[in-house]
């Protein structure tokens, strides 16, 4: 599982948008969003740069932490 610092998430719509973006590149990905902390945990076989790019294309800035 990789944790991402995601900037720009402010509401439930943001949570759904980030989750959908990740699941577009890996439909089997497990996504857990902590809106208050601005963190997203992703359990996926896709490399971190692909997940970061998907989140960025949804309009948010993402950086893998671990």
Q: Is the pLDDT of residue 66 over 70?
A: no
For 18, the domain range is: 2-64
Into how many domains does the chain fold? 1
CATH code: domain of residue 47: 3.30.70.100
Query: Taken in order 6, 46, 22, 31, is the CA torsion positive or negative?
Result: negative
Cut 0.85: pTM above it:
yes
List pLDDT tens digits, range 21-59: 999 999 999 999 999 999 999 999 999 999 999 999 999
- Is the pLDDT reported for residue 60 higher than 80? yes
CA distance 59 to 54: 9
């Amino acid at each position: 599982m990789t944790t991402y610092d995601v900037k720009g998430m402010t509401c439930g719509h943001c949570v759904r948008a980030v989750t959908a973006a990740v699941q577009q590149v890996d439909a089997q990905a497990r996504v857990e969003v902590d809106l208050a902390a601005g963190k997203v945990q992703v359990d996926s076989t896709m490399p971190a740069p692909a997940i970061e790019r998907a989140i960025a294309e949804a309009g948010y800035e993402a950086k893998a932490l671990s």
